[in-house]
Amino acid sequence: MVPQISLSRRWWRVYLLAGVCLAAFLFSVLLWPGKPHPKPRPAALPRGRLLRSAGGGLQRRPLFRPGTQEPRVLCMVVTTPQYYRGRARHIKATWGHWGNGACPNTVFLSFTPDDILQNVIISNFSSYEDLWGKVVDGFLQLNASAADWFMKADDDTFLIYPNLLNLLAHLDPSEALYLGLPLIYRPEGGEEITYMSGGAGYVLSSTALTRLQAAHAPAHCRYPGHTQYEDVNMGYCMAALGVRAADTRDGLGRPRFLPYPPWRLLQSEPHPDFAWLVHFSKYKFRFVSMDVTDVFFSPSKKMSYI
């Protein structure tokens, strides 16, 4: 009789332990968060919002929530198929995507489409000698009502988008404005031209873009004999259209658009390679401190992810 009672107690303990283990297992399965599911990538912004309609009219579908005070910016990145993998796709993955701190409306200007870049404006101009025609062709295809500001960048440009927003928040896109790093072109026997460095990127207000599109450029804006000098041609064109080259320096006179990485300019005595920058800069170029940079040239794709 006694052995039977001991056996019953032993099996009761076994059942109790098994029940506890089963309860713990079910708890872990039902309540453990497990591996998070990846968030779906946002769909590409329909090109109809960014580009002019085929008939020449402007589509006025809004890009941002009504009532927002944040400047609407469209970023156009000039690239070529040979740099899709090594440059443009890294822009797409960093400052040219839909995440925080990135330009949400980014398009790429080239002459062939790409499944990863997605928003590619197709231009008939493909050679570097036709860079001016290519850039203007891209601007002519943009919808001037899609944004307040339109930035032109290259596939080796790095944009600090929040800094650019802070700059643009104090400016009026209804004015014909042209922003960037101002340089002076001095043709022999000709008038000096203020233009914005193409390597540092530049920005047009929506009013400036509207004037550019109405002028049917480049026919009326090309500087004679310099078709490949896109930035000089744009400066000549903006001046001809009455677009003002705005002074975007900070309160200490430091530039916000840089043609080199900031760390290469952090020196009291400029490197001989920068002699051209000192010579052609419209304002005295301030070296040493660059803590308010908006845009700069990035020679390395790794830098884009830092």
SS3 assignment, position 189: coil
Q: Residues in the chain with pLDDT < 70?
A: 1-68, 97-101, 217-220, 223-227, 262-271, 287-306
Whether 290 maps to a domain, the answer reads yes
Whether 251 maps to a domain, the answer reads yes
How many whole angstroms separate alpha carbon 98 and alpha carbon 103? 7
Whole-structure pTM value: 0.73
Residues 227-249: pLDDT tens digits?
678 999 999 999 999 999 999 88
Whether 25 maps to a domain, the answer reads no
Whether 52 maps to a domain, the answer reads no
Domain that holds residue 253: 69-305
Res 175: pLDDT: 97
| Secondary structure letter of residue 74 according to DSSP | E
CATH number at residue 232: 3.90.550
Residue 196: exposure state from Cβ atoms within 10 A (0-12, 13-18, ≥19): buried
Residues 50-81: pLDDT tens digits?
555 444 332 333 333 444 478 999 999 999 99
Question: Per this entry, what is the length of the chain?
Answer: 306
Whether the CB-CB separation of 116 and 86 falls below 8 Å is answered with no
Res 76: pLDDT: 96
Whether 6 maps to a domain, the answer reads no
Whether 102 maps to a domain, the answer reads yes
Give the number of domains in the chain: 1
